[in-house]
Structure 1
Amino acid sequence: MKILLIMDPGIPVPPPLYGGHERLVHMFSEEYARLGHEVSLLAGPNSHISGKIYSFGKNDLKRGNWQKIKELIYTWFFLLKKAKDFGLIHNFGRLAYLLPILNNDTNKIMTYGRTIDSKNIKLIDRFKNKNLFFTAPSFDCISTNNQYGSWARVFNAIDFSKYTLQTKVDKVAPLIFLSRLDKVKGCHIAIEIAKRTNNKLVIAGNISEIYHEIEYFKKEIEPHIDGIQIKYVGAVNDIEKNHLLGQSKAMLFPINIKEAFGMVMAESMACGTPVIAFNKGSVPEVVIDGVNGYRCDTVEQMIEAVNKIDKINRIDVRKDSESRFSSKVIAGEYLNLFSSTRVQEY
């Protein structure tokens, strides 16, 4: 089958540094190709995959509205001309890209990775459309707007070849907090838990450029960093991430918002490192209590979870994550959406 993936310009595919959706697009393009499909990609300049590239737009996250309008018009003309050439069009970009082909016979998937704008879905649902599936990485995310259209939960995926299972860690191994250092992510709570359980804590992630988040870092995180018990290593690349996750006894995920998926949880589990998380957003769907980590409602419960983390089998953590979050499994779920046996339909 001929498959077209679409991604907004702004960051190339794959991304040189940060870019969650761009990483997913590249991963699925390669996985679809490994499964024997002929894959093309419509994305920003300097993108590359094993298949054919159609470049458009401008790689600039701060590009203006006029530039985005030009990109939209380009995509419309491209799809009006080319849509019939593909058996599946998988869109990770703007929903508006699909407007000219909503009623086209081609199978179409619109994938969301964050909170969904119900106004856009409602508007699209008023148009004649067929062979269109909406997907999101958790039922919690879908619940923000599932009253219009056909929806399915399909988890996000990670590249397991980048993560090494560590079957054992030292008793004095640290805890780890891996995230952007915004207050809602809960780094200050991770610090509290590390101190109250007498554990070391490694903090990895970038500091926001927003003023109040900088103040949060200076007042609630930086004073605790001593380089001994509480260590801050900054933003990390994939190699560093694999090393830090693998040497940790558990990841702390004390998030105070509903996150659509939480890729770092899957990355931690790929190294065999269990996750201790607040029971919000996608956490009830990702963390299986007592199998790959613990779900908690309070700081006290997190402290209890840290003290019994050695009851979790790290080999089982990796096995479970690979069975649910590998690119091969998730690519298969996407391709099965239009078969007679739909997976995870909501």
Structure 2
Amino acid sequence: MKILLIMDPGISVPPPKYGGHERLVYMFAEEYTALGHEVELLAGPNSKISGKNYSFGINDLKRGKWQRLKETLFAWKFLLQKSKQYNLIHNFGRLAYLLPILNQPVNKIMTYGRQVDAKNIYWTNRFPHQNLKFTAPSYDCISTAQHIGDWTRVYNAIDFSKYDLTTNLPNDAPLIFLSRLDKVKGCHIAIDVALATNQKLIIAGNISNIEHEQAYFEKTLKPKIDGKQIKYVGEVNDEQKNHYLGMAKAMLFPIDVREAFGMVMTESMACGTPVIAFPMGAVPEVVDEGVTGFVVKNREEMIDAVDKIAKIDRTLCRAQAKERFDTPIIAAKYLGLFR
């Protein structure tokens, strides 16, 4: 089968550091290739998979509307010229890219990783179309589409081979918070929980360049980071993630926003490290209660859950998550959508 994967420019595939969908696109490209399919990629500059690569646009997340329009026009021309060559076109980029080929017989998957604009889905379905399926990584995300279109929940994946199971931890092993340091991610609550339970806490993640988020870090987080009990290690790459997640007794995920999936949760589970999380967005769909972590309602319940960490079997935690979220499992789900 010949497959085309599409990703917005802005960050290269695979991403050098931060980049959720860019990382997914790369993993699926390599998995599809390993399965014997012919895979091609349309993505931003410096993107590279084992198959054929086509570049368009620029790698700049702040690029303007005119640049995005030029990228869309390029994608239209590309697809009008080449779409008949493919058995499957899997789009992780803008829905607008697919407009010229909506009614062509080629199988098309449109994958979302954040809240859906239901108006776009509504108008897309008003046009003549065929063989078009929408996917999102959680039912919570799908619900934002207001039940318009042909939807399937397909979880996000991670490459479990990049994460090592750690089973024997010292009693003073730290907790970990791993996320972008925006207020809605709840790092201040993770610090409060660590202090209330007399636990060490490792904070890993990038500081936003948005002014009010920088003020949040400087005024709310930084004064409590002492380098001993509360330690900030900065933004981390895959190898560092594996190291810090593996040495932690649990991940704290006190999120205050409807996130479509939250890949850091599965990365933590891959190391055998359970997740204690607030029930926002996809959390109840990702965390298996008492097996891969605990879903708690508030700060007080999160504090109580820290005492339950020892009840989690870290080997079983990883095994359960691998069965649900490993790349081959999710790739097969995508490839099975049109069988």
User: Are positions 1:241 and 2:247 aligned together?
Assistant: no
Structure 1, gaps ≥5 residues long? 340-346
1:57 Cα deviation after fit: 1.7
Q: Which residue of 1 aligns with 2:148?
A: 148
Q: Which residue of 2 aligns with 1:85?
A: 85
Letter in 1 for 2:69: I
Structure 2, gaps ≥5 residues long? none
Q: Which residue of 1 aligns with 2:321?
A: 321
Q: Which residue of 2 aligns with 1:172?
A: 172
Q: Which residue of 2 aligns with 1:330?
A: 330
Counterpart of 2:166 in 1: which secondary structure?
Answer: coil
Show CA shifts across 1:201-233 (max 9, x none).
Answer: 111111111221122112221111111111111
Q: Which residue of 2 aligns with 1:279?
A: 279
Point out the more displaced range, 13-22 or 186-195. 13-22
Distance 2:234 2:59 in 1: 25
Distance 1:208 1:55 in 2: 28
Letter in 1 for 2:231: K
Distance 1:164 1:146 in 2: 39
Distance 1:197 1:16 in 2: 36
Q: Which residue of 2 aligns with 1:291?
A: 291
Taking every aligned residue pair, what percent have the same amino acid on both sides? Answer: 67
1:42 Cα deviation after fit: 0.9
1:45 Cα deviation after fit: 1.6
Q: Which residue of 1 aligns with 2:96?
A: 96
Q: Are the equivalent residues in 1 in contact too, given 2:177–2:203 (CA < 8 A)?
A: yes
Q: Which residue of 1 aligns with 2:264?
A: 264
Point out the more displaced range, 55-64 or 318-327. 55-64
Q: Which residue of 2 aligns with 1:221?
A: 221
Q: Are the equivalent residues in 2 in contact too, given 1:13–1:48 (CA < 8 A)?
A: yes
Counterpart of 2:113 in 1: which secondary structure?
Answer: coil
Q: How many residues align?
A: 339
Distance 1:125 1:84 in 2: 21
Letter in 2 for 1:297: K
Q: Which residue of 1 aligns with 2:304?
A: 304
Q: Are the equivalent residues in 2 in contact too, given 1:168–1:314 (CA < 8 A)?
A: no
1:169 Cα deviation after fit: 1.1
Distance 1:168 1:119 in 2: 50
Q: Are the equivalent residues in 2 in contact too, given 1:166–1:272 (CA < 8 A)?
A: yes
TM-score by length of 2: 0.98
Distance 1:228 1:303 in 2: 20
Counterpart of 1:109 in 2: which secondary structure?
Answer: strand
Distance 1:10 1:309 in 2: 39
Q: Which residue of 2 aligns with 1:13?
A: 13
Distance 2:72 2:214 in 1: 35
Letter in 2 for 1:60: D
Counterpart of 2:170 in 1: which secondary structure?
Answer: coil
User: Are positions 1:200 and 2:193 aligned together?
Assistant: no
Q: Are the equivalent residues in 1 in contact too, given 2:17–2:236 (CA < 8 A)?
A: no
1:56 Cα deviation after fit: 1.5
User: Are positions 1:118 and 2:118 aligned together?
Assistant: yes
1:120 Cα deviation after fit: 0.7
Distance 1:4 1:55 in 2: 13
Distance 1:230 1:240 in 2: 18
User: Are positions 1:158 and 2:161 aligned together?
Assistant: no
Distance 2:74 2:236 in 1: 36
Counterpart of 1:54 in 2: which secondary structure?
Answer: strand
TM-score by length of 1: 0.96
Distance 1:233 1:41 in 2: 34
